Chain A
């Protein structure tokens, strides 16, 4: 059931390739704007680089979230999925995993480039990648709950941001904090473990809350 859904999502993704790149383009566009707005000063930019990269990853993730269930809801596939799949959390996990692949993982892979633009010291880049790799699953999982709650609403976009961003606060703090500490030369394993813990809690709780939220959203 997991693989069946994964295949479907993959096919859908292939058919909408042009949308796929949008969050990534947004990420780099916003990075460029930051560099331009900051006057291009290497010291300033590198001091803020962990925060800028993490905040933009949050926002790009959010951008990709809106489409997570929207299309399926509009054409009725979501209704079918909820009725047919038993247990429901398996295909939902497949959907969330797919979202993570093209937002979280893709951004992790592109993060060295972002680090380059913002003059982040090279020795910190592995830490940045590690925090992104461990932290972004939590973003996709928590975000999926928000996406499921707002899927039936026509103008769900801003509302989704309002619901989800406060819940992203711990991930941002630990993620950006770990990189900053590394820059200051302090041990940062605790933060990375915390990111791992948050992702694990999200992994156990989110699929059920997403399933509940979808059932609620379909009730109309």
Chain B
């Protein structure tokens, strides 16, 4: 199938619904497999850090969630652009369903960061560049979520969120830079946590597995949300009716 027909088919809800079913199962099970492997590996088999001891094992959940939450926001910006320029409904559905996921992952990354910080550096919270930009990212997610909740009409809400996501995506690099600069003003660079090269493979391989697992989970969740949105918006079409009756 060439790219153009794929593009057209992405506009067909029914095709998307049927195609996404098996993909959700594959991605979901893959995510479960990878995450379970990565976590057990990281928790039980990876060697302890010679400075931080065992508390560093939080990295295996903290870094993947942080990475995924940032990629999700970037993807929201891209989806917003697609929706505003080409008015593709799929983009709207992705925008609707990925926000709660991204929001929960950002909150999780902040929480695990705090829990990691307490035993390692003796404080729950540091105003360092990474945590601060994650916090702002969480607020950006809150904004997207609240805006969608506030606008009653789904189509209007989707396009309003697209504008906001686009604006946020433009802003994220500026926020990152400003926060980086601000950090150097207030305190000298204290610690660089996630420098990969200094890690031996038996330490970073589980991390890699978990990052992959998180992306698979993200894919599965977005596709499942997409299916749900398709059903809601196509509820009066013949094929959805048949689906509903078949499940009765």
A binds B: yes
B178 contacts A216, C-beta separation under 8 Å: no
A198 contacts B174, C-beta separation under 8 Å: yes
> Most chain-B Cβ atoms within 10 A of its Cβ — which of A142, A152, A162?
A162
Q: Cβ of B246 < 8 Å from any Cβ of A?
A: no
Look across to chain A and name the residue whose beta carbon is closest to the beta carbon of B151.
A153
3 tightest A-B contacts by CB? A170-B178, A166-B139, A173-B178
B147 contacts A194, C-beta separation under 8 Å: no
State the Cβ distance, A155 to closest chain B Cβ, in Å. Answer: 8
B167 contacts A167, C-beta separation under 8 Å: yes
State the Cβ distance, A30 to closest chain B Cβ, in Å. Answer: 22
Taking a contact as CB atoms closer than 8 A, the residue among A150, A190, A216 that contacts B150 in the complex is A150
A209 contacts B139, C-beta separation under 8 Å: no
Q: Cβ of A44 < 8 Å from any Cβ of B?
A: no
A165 contacts B159, C-beta separation under 8 Å: no
Q: What 0/1 readout, one digit per residue, does chain B (142-171) give for beta carbons within 8 Å of chain A?
A: 110011001101011001100110111011
Q: Cβ of A213 < 8 Å from any Cβ of B?
A: yes
Chain A residues with Cβ under 8 A from B174's Cβ?
Answer: 170, 198, 201
Q: Cβ of A159 < 8 Å from any Cβ of B?
A: yes
Contacts A173-B178, A194-B178, A213-B160; A165 near B185 (Cβ below 8 A):
no
State the Cβ distance, B128 to closest chain A Cβ, in Å. Answer: 14
A145 contacts B163, C-beta separation under 8 Å: yes
Look across to chain B and name the residue whose beta carbon is closest to the beta carbon of A145.
B167
Chain B residues with Cβ under 8 A from A194's Cβ?
Answer: 178, 181
Bound CA–CA A177/B166 (angstroms): 27
A216 contacts B163, C-beta separation under 8 Å: yes
Chain B residues with Cβ under 8 A from A177's Cβ?
Answer: 181-182, 185
State the Cβ distance, B155 to closest chain A Cβ, in Å. Answer: 8
Q: Cβ of B136 < 8 Å from any Cβ of A?
A: yes
Q: What 0/1 readout, one digit per residue, does chain A (149-174) give for beta carbons within 8 Å of chain B?
A: 11011011001001101110110011
Chain A residues with Cβ under 8 A from B153's Cβ?
Answer: 219-220
Q: Cβ of A88 < 8 Å from any Cβ of B?
A: no
Say what secondary structure dominates the interface of chain B.
helix
Q: Cβ of B205 < 8 Å from any Cβ of A?
A: no
Look across to chain B and name the residue whose beta carbon is closest to the beta carbon of A171.
B178
Look across to chain B and name the residue whose beta carbon is closest to the beta carbon of A191.
B181
Look across to chain A and name the residue whose beta carbon is closest to the beta carbon of B174.
A170
Chain A to chain B contacts (Cβ below 8 Å), 16 pairs: A162-B143, A163-B147, A166-B175, A167-B168, A170-B177, A170-B178, A173-B181, A173-B182, A190-B181, A198-B174, A209-B163, A209-B167, A212-B163, A219-B159, A220-B153, A220-B156
B150 contacts A153, C-beta separation under 8 Å: yes
Interface residues on A, range: 20 to 34
Q: Cβ of A19 < 8 Å from any Cβ of B?
A: no
Q: Cβ of A21 < 8 Å from any Cβ of B?
A: no
Taking a contact as CB atoms closer than 8 A, the residue among A152, A170, A181, A213 that contacts B175 in the complex is A170
Contacts A163-B147, A181-B185, A194-B178; A169 near B136 (Cβ below 8 A):
yes
Look across to chain B and name the residue whose beta carbon is closest to the beta carbon of A219.
B156
State the Cβ distance, A183 to closest chain B Cβ, in Å. Answer: 12
State the Cβ distance, B150 to closest chain A Cβ, in Å. Answer: 5
Q: Cβ of B78 < 8 Å from any Cβ of A?
A: no
Bound CA–CA A209/B165 (angstroms): 11
B139 contacts A212, C-beta separation under 8 Å: no
Bound CA–CA A174/B177 (angstroms): 10
> Most chain-A Cβ atoms within 10 A of its Cβ — which of B153, B155, B159, B167?
B167
Taking a contact as CB atoms closer than 8 A, the residue among B142, B151, B160, B171 that contacts A170 in the complex is B171
Q: Cβ of B240 < 8 Å from any Cβ of A?
A: no
Chain A residues with Cβ under 8 A from B160's Cβ?
Answer: 149, 213, 216-217
Q: What 0/1 readout, one digit per residue, does chain A (89-119) give for beta carbons within 8 Å of chain B?
A: 0000000000000000000000000000000
A166 contacts B136, C-beta separation under 8 Å: yes
Chain A residues with Cβ under 8 A from B48's Cβ?
Answer: none
A174 contacts B178, C-beta separation under 8 Å: yes
Q: Cβ of A180 < 8 Å from any Cβ of B?
A: yes
Q: Cβ of A1 < 8 Å from any Cβ of B?
A: no
Bound CA–CA A38/B146 (angstroms): 34
